[in-house]
Amino acid sequence: MDIETMALHGGYAPDPQTGSTATPIHQTAAYAYASAEEIADVFAGRAPGYVYTRLGNPTSMAFERRLSELEGGVGCLSCSSGMAAIASVVMGLTRAGDHIVAGSGIFGGTVSLFSKTLSRFGVTTTFADSGDPESFRSAVRPETKLIFVEAITNPQMAVPDLPVIADIAHQAGIPLVADSTLTTPILVRPGEWGADIVVHSVSKFINGHGNSIGGAIVDTGKFDWAKGPFEDIASLAKLAGRLAFLAHLRRLVYRDLGCCPSPFNSFMHLTGIEGLALRMEAHCRNAMALAEYLAAHPKVAWVNYPGLASNPYHAVASKLFGGRYGGVLTVGLGDRDRAMKLVTGTSLAQNLANIGDSRTLVIHPASTIFQEFPPEERDAQGVPDDLVRISAGVESTRDIIADFESALDQI
Amino acid sequence: MQITSNGKPAEVTDNITVTDLLKELKVATPEYVSVELNGEILDREQFATIRVSDGDTVEFLYFMGGGEL
């Protein structure tokens, strides 16, 4: 099955009770059984069944099957948000005294989770250079339990060399976790390049319509949990085989943290994922055209898009993503004032904190998403004051360019 | 042949493999089921090759769902 077909049919079946083509929205908190014995059997694991939506829900599981198939994984756990997915993964792999190596220039929310929230619980993080694989190797310590990268970093637009970093992780006996939000399985399956766990902010390109928040965790099936340094997960390996990590999360960490998605949101994400291949094609085409237009514009100081041949990550992106470079680009306007004028000046492009909507989006990250970090830290994260982030939508290329042309005319 | 499945007697095809047994007993979501054959948890990679004999005891454990720890 080609990936466009899999987006519609992967793990799909019409509802067995009614034949409904669209997955029913099981907007329920719990599930009733006819007898005390039957529900006891389900709780004890002797019989299949649902008990409580925080643990599992049929609509959410339909979405999980679809995404797992698309990623070529062994299973998927869907979450209330991308941050819930990342938090569940990392809290499932670490305990007090453990260490994370993460790439630089990654999403501010993830930086905050690692450096401000998890540090409260004795888990420390070193940020290596996303563009320099060897910097990951030198950052690994005996207590490091995972390496975390973004397939394309947001908003630095770095493209880490996945297979090289995967090797470094595996030589240290630890898993590589890849956040593939900006790429989605359409551009790359990180598992094929050695990643052990893939996380997504489903809120972005997968949902595709900016209507619901969600997250997901996919186990690519590559990591041998029975042999890794995680004793509690290894003890589940006998029971669950390659699903040991997902079982560890669903039965313990994810369950206890309460990271479950809304069944209604899962329905929206299912609807969105079905058109993902078509949308990514349009996002990439429009981002490339806009990047080329802006790179030639006299009022634009610089353009950062891996699709441009001059971009430092063009070669590695070409190797990993099959000739497409994603829907997100960043541009520099020279100073903060001009950057904010560009953001205010567009009318088609919506000024908001999101990426991957079908509509083109624009934002000034330094004064918004990264405003809690002092200027020196923002600079270190690759977010200068003149940076504008654009998420190219699926409108016509002509209309998108005309919108930015008009906004630039006013600066 | 007759086996005991999750504490109840069941009539199944002779010499059936574990993979086929899961299908025959209509075990839902077999990918989330661990199988204990005569008290021993089976390696899932071997479901397709291990065969069940007359009088065997099989326990299915749904390790992913429910409320159990």
* pLDDT > 80? residue A268: yes
Of A50, A56, A239, the CB nearest to B63: A239
Q: Using the beta-carbon criterion (under 8 Å), do A45 and B27 form an inter-chain contact?
A: no
Q: What is the pLDDT of residue B53?
A: 95
More reliable by pLDDT, A16 or A387 = A387
- Does CATH number 3.30.465.10 belong to domain A3-272? no
- Counting one residue from chain A and one from chain B, the pairs whose CB atoms sit within 8 A come to 70
Q: What is the pLDDT of residue A156?
A: 87
CATH superfamily membership of A277-409: Aspartate Aminotransferase, domain 1 (3.90.1150.10)
Q: Using the beta-carbon criterion (under 8 Å), do A45 and B66 form an inter-chain contact?
A: yes
pTM reported for the whole predicted model: 0.94
Contacts of B27 in chain A (CB under 8 A): 48
Q: What is the pLDDT of residue A393?
A: 98
Q: What is the pLDDT of residue B67?
A: 43
Contact yes or no for A56/A75 (Cβ under 8 A): no
Q: How confident is the model at residue B69 (pLDDT cuts 50, 70, 90)?
A: very low
Question: What are the pLDDT digits (tens) for A301-328?
Answer: 999 999 999 999 999 999 999 999 999 9
Q: What is the pLDDT of residue A239?
A: 85
Q: What number is the average pLDDT over the span B2-31?
A: 90
Q: How confident is the model at residue A78 (pLDDT cuts 50, 70, 90)?
A: very high
Q: Using the beta-carbon criterion (under 8 Å), do A243 and B60 form an inter-chain contact?
A: no
Q: What number is the average pLDDT over the span A321-342?
A: 97
Q: Using the beta-carbon criterion (under 8 Å), do A241 and B67 form an inter-chain contact?
A: no
Give SS3 for B58.
strand
CATH label, B2-62, candidates 3.40.50.1820, 3.10.20.30, 1.20.1370.20, 3.40.109.10: 3.10.20.30
Q: What number is the average pLDDT over the span A50-64?
A: 94
Interface test with A, best of B32, B50, B58 (most A CBs within 10 A): B32
pLDDT above 90: percentage of residues in chain A: 91
Q: What number is the average pLDDT over the span B46-64?
A: 92
The ipTM, to two decimals, is 0.80
Q: Using the beta-carbon criterion (under 8 Å), do A241 and B45 form an inter-chain contact?
A: yes
Q: How confident is the model at residue B65 (pLDDT cuts 50, 70, 90)?
A: low
pLDDT above 70: percentage of residues in chain A: 100
Q: How confident is the model at residue A238 (pLDDT cuts 50, 70, 90)?
A: confident
* pLDDT > 60? residue A69: yes
Contacts of A50 in chain B (CB under 8 A): 65
Q: How confident is the model at residue B66 (pLDDT cuts 50, 70, 90)?
A: low
Residues of B with CB under 8 A from a CB of A: 6, 27-29, 31-32, 34, 41, 43-45, 59-69
Contacts of A247 in chain B (CB under 8 A): 63-64
Q: What number is the average pLDDT over the span A231-260?
A: 93
Contacts of A44 in chain B (CB under 8 A): 66, 68
Q: What number is the average pLDDT over the span B42-67?
A: 86
Question: What are the pLDDT digits (tens) for A184-236?
Answer: 999 999 999 999 999 999 999 999 999 999 999 999 999 999 999 999 999 99
* pLDDT > 70? residue B68: no
Report chain A's mean pLDDT, rounded to a whole number: 96
Parse chain B into domains and list their residue ranges.
2-62
Of A49, A242, A252, the CB nearest to B65: A49
Parse chain A into domains and list their residue ranges.
3-272, 277-409
